[in-house]
């Protein structure tokens, strides 16, 4: 993303492809980098299903795709950047994993069992089931788009090394896009319109069961502020996994 931003500063638009890497972490971090430079940022990541498929296609009963994450961020003026970062499956892989280990049910329409039948039992996923795309056929089309822009567009299959990255990451390809938010108007005008749009959305009366209406990115901004102030909460079972992993390499953490 640093390279994309640097190129976009002189060329207005930049597209960067990345191959031969391991887990790149939270995608939202990279689009926030672009937004901080008054640019729109996009991240499309695919290729995880070539050796380790985990998601069924819309209308399918067998795994062929993966969680294929996407993130887009857009700068604002005084308001926080408008951004999102999510898997194109109904749930991320770690949420299914956590539900399995905690013996908790999953929400409906998140996974199917080995026969393609919807289920809320996380154990069914590990018994040959698969993720469902969010939003039915609409999420499925975004999942496929991410696979195209992530793996196929970057040509990541040509850079696979049998001894590197592991089954999920070996074919990983990521496309990052950055372009100036003021390509068609002065940034001050863009920022004013962006702020007004966020404020207009937040001003809508909440529906029953909701306390307020948020703009995309509000929840993340609030969490960042709270955790910088109060620290990062870690669930007991996740902390236990940390300590076990540390102990396996000779590190004792309290």
pTM of the model: 0.91
- Per DSSP, the three-state class of 157 is helix
Residue from 25, 42, 76, 45 nearest 221 by CA: 76
Give the model confidence (pLDDT) of 3-43 as tens digits: 999 999 999 999 999 999 999 999 999 999 999 999 999 99
pLDDT score of 253 more than 90: no
Q: Rounded to whole angstroms, how far apart are CA atoms 234 and 37?
A: 32
Q: Rounded to whole angstroms, how far apart are CA atoms 155 and 20?
A: 11
Q: Where does the chain show beta strands of DSSP type E?
A: 13-18, 39-46, 70-74, 82-86, 111-112, 118-119, 130-131, 173-180
* Domains by residue range for the chain, with CATH: 2-89+133-242 (3.30.1370.60)
Q: What is the pLDDT averaged over residues 75-102?
A: 94
């Amino acid at each position: 993303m640093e390279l994309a931003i640097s190129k976009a500063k002189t060329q207005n638009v930049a597209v960067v492809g990345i191959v031969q890497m391991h887990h790149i972490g939270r995608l939202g971090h990279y689009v926030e980098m672009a937004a901080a430079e008054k640019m729109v940022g996009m991240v499309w990541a695919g290729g995880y299903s070539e050796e380790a498929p985990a998601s069924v296609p819309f209308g399918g009963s067998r795994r062929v795709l993966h969680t294929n994450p996407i993130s887009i961020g857009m700068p604002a003026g005084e308001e926080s950047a408008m951004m999102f970062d999510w898997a194109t499956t109904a749930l991320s892989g770690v949420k299914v994993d956590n539900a399995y280990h905690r013996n908790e049910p999953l929400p409906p329409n998140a996974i199917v069992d080995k026969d393609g039948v919807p289920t809320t039992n996380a154990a069914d996923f590990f018994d040959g089931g698969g993720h469902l795309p969010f939003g039915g056929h609409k999420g499925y089309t975004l999942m496929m788009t991410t696979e195209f822009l992530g793996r196929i567009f970057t040509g990541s299959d040509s850079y696979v090394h049998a001894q590197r990255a592991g089954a999920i990451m070996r074919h990983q390809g990521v496309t990052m896009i950055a372009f100036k938010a003021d390509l068609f108007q002065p940034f001050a005008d863009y920022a004013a319109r962006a702020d007004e749009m966020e404020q207009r959305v937040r001003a809508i009366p909440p529906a029953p069961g909701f306390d307020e209406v948020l703009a995309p990115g509000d929840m993340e901004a609030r969490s960042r502020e709270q955790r910088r102030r109060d620290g990062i909460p870690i669930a007991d079972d996740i902390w236990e996994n940390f300590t076990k992993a540390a102990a396996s390499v000779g590190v004792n953490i309290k």
